[in-house]
Amino acid sequence: MKRFATLFNAIDQSTKTTVKVAALAAYFTEADDLDRLWTVALFSGRRPKRAVTTTRLREWAAEVAGVPLWLFEDSYAIVGDLAETISLILPATLSGDNRPLSQWINDLRGLADVDEAARKAFVLNAWQRLGGSERFVFNKLITGGFRMGVSQKLMTRALAQATGKSEAELAHRLMGNWHPDTHSWHSLIEAEDASADASRPYPFYLAYGLEQEPQDLGAPSDWRAEWKWDGIRGQLILREGAYFVWSRGEELMTDRFPELARAIDHLPSGTVLDGELLVWQAGADKPASFNALQPRIGRKTVPKKLLSEAPVVLHAYDLLEWQGDDIRDRPFAERRALLEMACVDLPSDAPVKLSPQLAFPDWDRLAEYRRDARDAHAEGLMLKRADSPYLAGRKKGDWWKWKLEPLTIDAVMIYAQSGSGRRANLFTDFTFAVRNGDDFVPFTKAYSGLTDAEFRQITAWVRKNTLQKFGPVRQVTPHHVFEIAFEGIQPSSRHKSGVALRFPRMKRWRKDKPLAEANTLDDLNEMLRIYG
């Protein structure tokens, strides 16, 4: 744990990527196999199961610190991080513990099998024995949220430095179903044959938003275009007579989409498709809106009724593996041709559909497609260079997304709440309202889009213009108008305003706009009528 806490400090104390990667690489070179395996697991989201509820942790921490629970909660609201609040509020102690990280994790997992008194004894003892950042790391392990400025991409780069293997190969090895219980450092990172697991997905290739005019991309004939669907990106794997569905977030979703099982009947084993999961009603000429997909998200099992109301298909747009061969290095045009060939005989009720390509002789035609995207229930276009390989992760140059302009509305800030983590002690989470006569009707929250300087400025203003406090939430004087950008609007019975927005964010702080020029509830309803 000491060595891991030192790594944590090195990463936490630097804002420079090179320094973080070097610290991680040094750790991966020096740490023992179990510890570094667990470190890879933690940084790729494979956390030990939470063994103690946060409610208990708060109670115990308040008890040990000798403060009332409300004071602990108020402190937590200001610090913005439970693990950190606990570390800070407990009396200082000198660290005298030499157990390795993997031992601590195993002990934590063992808590699942003991009663609450034993759990409490274990946690209190740990708090007493671990000082400073070790205590913080322990709290992070037990609360389960392990974000510390290290993305999986960064970790993969460090692993590449430490092992001499390529980042792309390591990214592939780290995908899918592995766990420190089932894998060793050797089998995961070093062994020659890393493809033993039939369910292992390929790293997704992610595109950046188009930053220039499409004209600047060169000849239209070098490019292919598709609708950018508004669904869930997914990878469908057909191997050894079984099917697996992975999300972009590397979550195995097979059980949530049982209708995809029939893909086995239509496509050969040894096929891996990249595509978009969309609700598609039988006989429809386009997918249902994202709203229809909502009930299918986050459900571990699907009731029959929902399955027939919201049937899901995979809209395939790329082929990554064919006849058991990894073909990601071949040009997109070639992969696409194979994909079309594979899909040519699919019946209309198959759970896989070929995502069409959009023919465009010139860029102006493409711009017309983009204008029509909302009608096609797409959120814009995807541009792919015809000769591009399928890369791993977010890369610039060969793939671009060219999204629709967002919808916007001018709204009034009426509530503010402070953020957490890097945004602790700053007001960053706001509730916005539209005008309705003399009233303000809240309709959305937004957290992002302002610069740090703007957040500081609005924070100072919120402190001076608070009308009322409700715990961490402050009601403020309706005064500031913000332009809220969003991708879609839907009717919603859960919101007072009757609407729900998709991806709302602050586009601009309209300091030039007086309150009276903010949009009204009527304006909002009109948008719902047009775009809902």
Stretch that binds other proteins, among 79-87, 258-266, 291-299, 521-529 (CB under 8 A): 79-87
The answer to whether 484 touches 432, Cβ cutoff 8 Å, is yes
Q: Is 94 in the site for other proteins (CB under 8 A)?
A: no
Of the pair 163, 459, the CB lying nearest other proteins is at 459
Q: Is 82 in the site for other proteins (CB under 8 A)?
A: no
Of the pair 12, 107, the CB lying nearest other proteins is at 12
Stretch that binds other proteins, among 46-54, 69-77, 283-291, 393-401 (CB under 8 A): 69-77
Tokens matching residue 67: 């403060």
Q: Is 68 in the site for other proteins (CB under 8 A)?
A: yes
Q: How far is CA 387 from the centre of its chain?
A: 29
The nearest distance, CB 104 to other proteins, in angstroms, is: 21
Stretch that binds other proteins, among 81-89, 99-107, 343-351, 358-366 (CB under 8 A): 81-89
Of the pair 148, 528, the CB lying nearest other proteins is at 148
The nearest distance, CB 19 to other proteins, in angstroms, is: 9
Query: CA–CA separation, 486 vs 432, rounded Å?
Result: 13
CB count, 10 Å around CB of 190?
Answer: 12
Tokens matching residue 264: 């086995």
Instruction: For residue 40, give every residue at least 6 positions away whose Cβ sits within 8 Å of its Cβ, in sequence order, or none.
Output: 28, 155, 159, 174, 188, 189
The nearest distance, CB 427 to other proteins, in angstroms, is: 10
Query: CA–CA separation, 92 vs 75, rounded Å?
Result: 17
Of the pair 71, 341, the CB lying nearest other proteins is at 71
The answer to whether 506 touches 446, Cβ cutoff 8 Å, is yes
Choosing from 23, 79, 382, 499, the residue that interacts with other proteins (CB under 8 A) is 79
The nearest distance, CB 469 to other proteins, in angstroms, is: 8
**Cα-based distances in Å from 138 to 57, 101, 144, 209, 264:** 12, 9, 10, 39, 45
Of the pair 381, 426, the CB lying nearest other proteins is at 426
Of the pair 9, 254, the CB lying nearest other proteins is at 9
Give the burial string for 177-189 (b: 16+ CB within 10 Å, else e): ebebeebebeebb
Look at the alpha carbons of 253, 254, 258, 259 in this order and tell me if their dihedral is positive or negative: positive
Q: Is 424 in the site for other proteins (CB under 8 A)?
A: yes
Of the pair 78, 114, the CB lying nearest other proteins is at 78
Tokens matching residue 517: 């020029």
**Cα-based distances in Å from 260 to 311, 322, 465:** 10, 18, 54
Q: Tell me 250's DSSP state.
A: S
Q: Binding mask 12-41 vs other proteins (x if CB under 8 A, - otherwise)?
A: xxxx--------------------------
Applying the rule CB under 8 A, the residues between 138 and 177 that interact with other proteins are 149
Choosing from 147, 186, 456, 496, the residue that interacts with other proteins (CB under 8 A) is 456
Applying the rule CB under 8 A, the residues between 236 and 295 that interact with other proteins are none
Q: How far is CA 390 from the centre of its chain?
A: 21
Stretch that binds other proteins, among 201-209, 356-364, 424-432, 482-490 (CB under 8 A): 424-432
The SS3 call for residue 354 is: strand
The answer to whether 392 touches 203, Cβ cutoff 8 Å, is yes
**Cα-based distances in Å from 472 to 55, 79, 217, 387, 469:** 18, 11, 48, 53, 7
Element (H, E) at 94: none
The nearest distance, CB 34 to other proteins, in angstroms, is: 28
Of the pair 84, 226, the CB lying nearest other proteins is at 84
Choosing from 464, 468, 470, 512, the residue that interacts with other proteins (CB under 8 A) is 464
Q: How far is CA 370 from the centre of its chain?
A: 26
The nearest distance, CB 332 to other proteins, in angstroms, is: 40
The answer to whether 381 touches 402, Cβ cutoff 8 Å, is yes
Of the pair 8, 244, the CB lying nearest other proteins is at 8
The nearest distance, CB 416 to other proteins, in angstroms, is: 14
| Dihedral angle over CA of 488, 491, 496, 497, nearest 10 | 60
Q: Is 89 in the site for other proteins (CB under 8 A)?
A: yes
Stretch that binds other proteins, among 64-72, 193-201, 235-243, 341-349 (CB under 8 A): 64-72
The SS3 call for residue 443 is: strand
Q: Is 84 in the site for other proteins (CB under 8 A)?
A: yes
Query: CA–CA separation, 296 vs 315, rounded Å?
Result: 16
The SS3 call for residue 509 is: strand
Q: Is 422 in the site for other proteins (CB under 8 A)?
A: yes
The nearest distance, CB 243 to other proteins, in angstroms, is: 43
Q: Is 75 in the site for other proteins (CB under 8 A)?
A: yes
The nearest distance, CB 80 to other proteins, in angstroms, is: 6
**Cα-based distances in Å from 104 to 139, 197, 219, 409:** 11, 28, 58, 51
Q: Binding mask 402-421 vs other proteins (x if CB under 8 A, - otherwise)?
A: -----------------xxx
Q: Is 451 in the site for other proteins (CB under 8 A)?
A: no
Tokens matching residue 310: 């919201």
Choosing from 24, 36, 38, 85, the residue that interacts with other proteins (CB under 8 A) is 85
The nearest distance, CB 489 to other proteins, in angstroms, is: 33
Stretch that binds other proteins, among 10-18, 105-113, 163-171, 255-263 (CB under 8 A): 10-18
* Max Cα distance, the chain (Å): 73
Query: CA–CA separation, 22 vs 353, rounded Å?
Result: 45
Q: Is 467 in the site for other proteins (CB under 8 A)?
A: no
Length of the chain: 532
Residues lying near other proteins in the complex (CB under 8 A) are found at 12-15, 65, 67-68, 70-72, 74-75, 78-81, 84-85, 88-89, 91-92, 149, 419-426, 452, 456, 459-460, 463-464, 469
